Amino acid sequence: MNKKIIALVTICLVLFSCQKEDPVVTTITLPQAISLDIGSTQKITPTHLPSDLPAPAYTWHTSDASIFTVDNQGNISAIGVGEATLTVKSTELNLTATSRVTVLPINASSLEIEPKSATLLIGNSLQLEGTVLPDNTTDKTLVWKSEDNYVATVTENGLVEAVGLGKTRITATSGSATGYCEITVEPILAEKVILSRQSINMLIGSTETLTATIEPEKTTHKEIVWSSENKEIAAVAEGAVSGIGIGTTIITATCGDVSASCEVTVEPIKVTGVSLSNESITLEMTDKTQLTATIMPTNATNQKVNWSSDNPDIAEVDESGWVTGISEGNTTIHVTTEDGNFSASCDMTVTLKGLILTKEHLQSL
């Protein structure tokens, strides 16, 4: 009986030792690092050992879904720039593998600025537009800069302001890509000069003022050059016109290539009257005395007068108002202005040399 039991046990041990275990996957791995551009997708396939065995069932996980996502087939989609961890698991075999995933930005390869060149009048502005290529560049932020802020400035949004005459370059950068626009700033030229008066009648020796207005109001250079066609008639300085001599001339104000003119007529100061230094004089024969004529106004232009005697045989007068007694008697000396024909007179009595006139003598005359 014991022999039978021993034989049976021996047979069982032999049969058990002859049975082999089924082979299984012992290792799964992923690439140590994975990188891809933002917006792209990539399928990840784990490696397993033994490699001749079928791949086990996997589950996939991301440590940060804002960086990348992964589906059940191991397809990862790059969502945002950065790094996150990809994990693959075989739950039934209790196996795990990880990989560091880096999502890279798409950098600008070129930058185009429109317009590429422009001419602005001082004070004007221009909006520049920048186009970053490729279209799917991650960061399209532009940094604007002017090479000469005394000629033109530029805002962070690409708005150019022309502030001074000259040339400068406006540059925009995005990463390592650069574009530029050549800017020329020119002056605002005068288009019209307007004078406050088109004609002036003025007295000799007086002053009148002309005012010049330049259009457009934003003209860059408003310097005015004043001139007179005949400075002997009227002179001008900074718009102040001075009457120098009788006549007509043209005063001109010039700004750049435009000008305006005013006709100026300078007139004399008219005589309004005349008076003599004496109303009556008694003069002995052969004696002389001078009469003085005063013209009104004293600054009258024409100061010329004419002298005359009603009876030159009694008293005569020269062109300077000197009266000479010629013979005994009475006469009248007259002065007449050349301008206006105004006159004044003086009664002259001429006596004998050394004669003392008495009341009776005068009554007999």
Residue type (1 letter), 272: T
Whether the ω angle into residue 105 lies within 30 degrees of 0, i.e. cis, is no
Q: Between β-strands 258-267 and 247-255, what pairing exists: parallel, antiparallel or unpaired? A: antiparallel
CATH number attached to the domain at 27-104: 2.60.40.1080
Please say whether the beta carbons of 280 and 333 come within 8 A: no
- Number of helices (H), then strands (E), in the chain: 2, 36
First-to-last alpha carbon distance for the chain, in angstroms, is: 218
- Please choose, from the candidates 166, 131, 121, 123, the residue with its C-alpha nearest in 3D space to the C-alpha of residue 146: 166
The per-residue pLDDT for range 243-252, each reduced to its tens digit, is: 999 999 999 9
Q: For residue 65, what pLDDT is reported?
A: 96
Write the CATH number of the domain with boundaries 273-351.
2.60.40.1080
Mean pLDDT of the 211-237 span: 96
Mean pLDDT for 83-98 is 94
Residue 10's pLDDT is 47
Residue 278 confidence (pLDDT) above 70: yes
Range(s) for CATH 2.60.40.1080 in the chain?
27-104, 110-186, 192-267, 273-351
Q: Specify the DSSP class assigned to residue 231.
A: T
Read off the tokens for 82: 């950065």
Give the confidence band of 91 by pLDDT, cuts at 50, 70, 90.
confident
pLDDT for 9 equals: 44
pLDDT on residue 22: 81
The CATH number, out of the four listed (3.50.50.60, 3.30.565.60, 1.10.530.10, 2.60.40.1080), of the domain defined by the range 192-267: 2.60.40.1080
* Mean pLDDT for the stretch of residues 35-60: 94
Q: How confident is the model at residue 3 (pLDDT cuts 50, 70, 90)?
A: low
Backbone angles phi, psi at 289, to 5 degrees: -150, 155
The model's pLDDT over 144-183, given as tens digits with 9 standing for 90+, comes to: 999 999 999 999 999 999 999 999 999 999 999 999 999 9
- Over residues 305-324, the mean pLDDT reads 96
CATH number for the domain whose boundaries are 110-186 = 2.60.40.1080
pTM of the predicted model over 0.85: no
pLDDT at 20 over 80: no
